[in-house]
Amino acid sequence: MKRFLSAFLVLLLLFGGAKPVSATAPTPMYDQYGAESAGVAINDYDSPLEVENTVLTFDIAEFPKEEYESDAAFLAYTGKLTAQYTIYNPTDTTITAKLLLPCFGQPEYGRKDISVAETYTVLTDGVEVTKTLRHSLGSQRFRTNKDLLWDTYIEDPFYSPDMPVTAYWFAVSDVDNEKYKEASVAIDLPRELGDRRFYLKDMTSFHLMEERASLRLVAYAKNEQRIGLYVIGEPLTEMPQWKFYQERTAKDSEQISGTATLLYSEKLTFQDLTLRNWREEEGISKQDWYNAVVEDINDNSFSRTYPAVFHPDKPPTFTANLMSWYEYEITVEPQQRVVNTVTVPVYPFVREGYEPGVYDYRHFLFTGHTWESFGKLDVVINTPYYLLDSMPQSFEKTDTGYKLSLDALHEDELMFQLCETDNPEKTDSSFNWAWIVLLAAPFLMLIEAFEAIGEFFTNLFQNLF
């Protein structure tokens, strides 16, 4: 009976909606994820243009649905942000600048087959401007120490689009794949190679060989498989020495027999190599893709630690890490002002476990740091709903909603919560179930342990006497 109760509690813990407490994996904050918004950035770090005043107007007359049955229904959602920037040219010369409007992804409750970026509008002094969709590496989206996007191919100390690349293709044979199901083939490279970089296609792992100050690049070895070794820079003067191992750990003590025969080599450029996963239908230009790849190489810790190895991400990982922007131009005469207005949809994050629902709206202010100066910020929320919380400061109640005025950027993020009532109830009670289960189970297990000990000694004495 006690064992039945213990099993029942374990099943309840696993499948009854309980959520165990974990220091490394906290309970998610949101039932459904929305999409952030962000302000306009300038793509010229040295530009003298100033933003004198910004007005962010959030018009929120409805909350999003959990699911939309059609594209038209989703696009009919009315929540939006209108950002109005008064831009001033303090110089004696006419300045034409490129501006960037971040385009964030779809909300979790959105329709995946449409692009919400197509609903963005951009006006300068009331006239709609031509905008171009651009892309950059996501981790670089709010840099303030250099331009965000390049008009040309990025200049790099080592890589260049026309740098020669030689691909060597080898055929694997003579491996006992029946005995060694995870047989691997590997090549050892010095950690520093000067004028060369290496890329092993389908690399499964790598190992730092401290005693040799080298890297061991590993790939699976199946008979009749082809191995592609790309050498970026000067071609090889002699062929590499391939070694075969029992598994991908590639330990010297587990070396096995195998052969890697050179089939042929081919010439290409570094740009060809970076574009091997580029797809025109994704709407990303070759230049932006190339620049993002180079930044990814220089950005990730693997390439910084092991510069001899070219280790780019593969789709869909790399594509998912790209940031989308709308690029457009404005021209400002000497000592003149223009008003740049952008309108974008806003999609809140849905807080879990509240009745009625609680919705978080998040707007990044990082882009304000890309300007020469960024002045006063006014935030207006037109809504019939209740404001529960906000940062960086509290809002003032108005006849149409709420407002906030800041003399300058003090924080990098604006966040506020809305709800149909001013006191929503927390409905998620699974936390209590988890504690009941976690506290009760050890006692039952202890009772079972004493019971098992008693049974053991009872059987022992019965056998002895």
Cross-strand partners of 322? 137
- Supply the DSSP string of 437-462, one letter for each residue: HHHHHHHHHHHHHHHHHHHHHHHHHH
CA distance 326 to 366: 16
Other CB atoms within a 10 A radius of the CB of residue 283 amount to 11
What pLDDT is recorded for position 7? 44
CB 359, CB 349: distance < 8 Å: yes
Structure tokens that stand for 296 in this block: 């990814």
What pLDDT is recorded for position 24? 35
What pLDDT is recorded for position 151? 87
What pLDDT is recorded for position 461? 34
What pLDDT is recorded for position 269? 96
What pLDDT is recorded for position 139? 60
What pLDDT is recorded for position 443? 53
CA distance 244 to 86: 65
What pLDDT is recorded for position 440? 53
Other CB atoms within a 10 A radius of the CB of residue 160 amount to 15
- Supply the DSSP string of 18-40, one letter for each residue: -----SSSPPPSEEE--B-EE--
What pLDDT is recorded for position 150? 87
Report the C-alpha dihedral over residues 444, 447, 453, 454, rounded to 10 degrees: -140
Residues 21-56: b if buried by 16+ CB within 10 A, e if exposed: eeeeeeeeeebbbbbbbbbbbbbbeebbbbbebbbb
Rounded to whole angstroms, what are the CA distances from 28 to 32, 138, 266, 335, 377?
10, 23, 49, 50, 32
Contacts of 354 (CB under 8 A, 6+ apart): 419, 424, 425, 426, 427
Distance, C-alpha 238 to centroid of its chain: 41
Chain length of the chain: 465
Low-confidence ranges of the chain (pLDDT < 70): 1-28, 139-147, 191-194, 211-212, 300-305, 307, 311-317, 428-465
Structure tokens that stand for 464 in this block: 């002895």
What pLDDT is recorded for position 10? 40
- Dihedral sign for Cα atoms in the order 353, 355, 357, 362: negative
Contacts of 147 (CB under 8 A, 6+ apart): 43, 44, 45
Cross-strand partners of 82? 57, 343
Indicate the pTM of the whole model.
0.76
